[in-house]
């Protein structure tokens, strides 16, 4: 696991103050729901939120892809990246720097970063952002046209809208990951990587089997930046085997 800079040694370094003095507390305003109060309090006390503001990332999620890449090394200079559901843009920011999309690393290959989302996303230097529903017919062809070829990495931090029902939400995000994987099969180069967020649960066995058929290695990881009370994890599938020839799959009958 990647070590988190800036947090080591924080515990106990209280300058004589009580530990509780280090925690920001939020008073419950009249009319504010307790859930909103708890969310705001968690945000104010989250070291990743503070670090993201300090380092210019658009959200704490940037550190999840940073930590995954520190371990699996798929965001390499010269790589072509597709970020599905890219808003607000933190994963694109990380990818731009690591694949050298701006050409700032002398002597290193220059990569490309393509982000797509259902909504408009503020411009990110070094990334090309498009409004696109990746579930629509022909989305894979649009992605390849924009990218100028196939991708080396397809990644997704998408989550379906929460219903408040754990099992329903789990099944929804598994379905979303399966759909993202299908697009990845259409746009990835052989040897490519697929990275996606899922929620831990019991409905992803078919998805895992599908990924194992199409990639040489599939890992399930919870990076340090994922909150300990969250059921999210990430699948990192490497070594894409390539799209099977449909003639072979159907015995020559199309």
Q: What is d(CA 71, CA 5) in angstroms, rounded to the nearest whole number? A: 16
Active site residue: 64, 105, 197, 212, which one? 197
* CA atoms within 13 Å, Cβ hemisphere of 172: 12
Question: Is residue 169 within a helix (H) or strand (E), and if so which, with residue range?
Answer: helix 166-187
The DSSP bridge partners found for residue 7 are: none
21 annotated to bind ligand:
no
Whether residue 197 lies in the annotated active site: yes
CB 65 within 8 A of CB 224: no
Q: Look at the alpha carbons of 227, 228, 231, 236 in this order and tell me if their dihedral is positive or negative.
A: positive
Q: Quick one: tokens of 85?
A: 């559901």
Q: What is d(CA 92, CA 84) in angstroms, rounded to the nearest whole number? A: 10
117 annotated to bind ligand:
yes
Q: What is d(CA 145, CA 126) in angstroms, rounded to the nearest whole number? A: 18
12 annotated to bind ligand:
no
Contacts 24+ apart (CB under 8 A), 116-120: 116/82, 116/83, 116/84, 116/85, 116/86, 116/143, 117/85, 117/86, 117/87, 118/85, 119/87
Binding-site positions:
89, 91, 117, 133, 157
Binding-site positions for S-adenosyl-L-methionine:
89, 91, 117, 133, 157
Q: Which residues carry out catalysis?
A: 197
């Amino acid at each position: 696991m990647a070590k988190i800079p800036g947090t080591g040694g924080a515990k106990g370094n209280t300058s004589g103050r009580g530990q509780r003095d280090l925690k920001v507390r939020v008073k419950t305003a009249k009319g504010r729901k307790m859930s909103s109060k708890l969310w705001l309090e968690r945000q104010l006390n989250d070291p990743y939120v503070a670090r993201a503001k300090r380092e210019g990332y658009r959200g704490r999620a940037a550190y999840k892809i940073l930590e995954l890449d520190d371990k699996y090394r798929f965001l390499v200079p010269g790589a072509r990246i597709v970020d599905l559901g890219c808003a607000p843009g933190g994963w694109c920011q990380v990818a731009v720097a690591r694949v050298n999309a701006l050409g700032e690393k002398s002597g290193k290959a220059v990569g490309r970063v393509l982000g797509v989302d259902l909504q408009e996303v503020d411009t990110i230097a070094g990334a090309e952002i498009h409004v696109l529903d990746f579930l629509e017919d022909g989305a894979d062809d649009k992605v390849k046209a924009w990218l100028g070829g196939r991708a080396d990495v397809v990644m997704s931090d998408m989550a379906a809208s929460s219903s408040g029902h754990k099992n329903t939400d789990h099944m929804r995000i598994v379905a979303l990951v399966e759909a993202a994987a299908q697009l990845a099969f259409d746009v990835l180069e052989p040897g490519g990587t697929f990275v996606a967020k899922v929620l831990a649960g019991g409905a992803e066995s078919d998805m895992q089997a599908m990924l194992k058929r199409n990639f040489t290695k599939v890992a399930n990881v919870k990076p340090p930046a994922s909150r300990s009370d969250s059921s999210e994890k990430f699948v990192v599938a490497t070594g894409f085997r390539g799209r099977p020839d449909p003639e072979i799959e159907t015995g020559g009958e199309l």
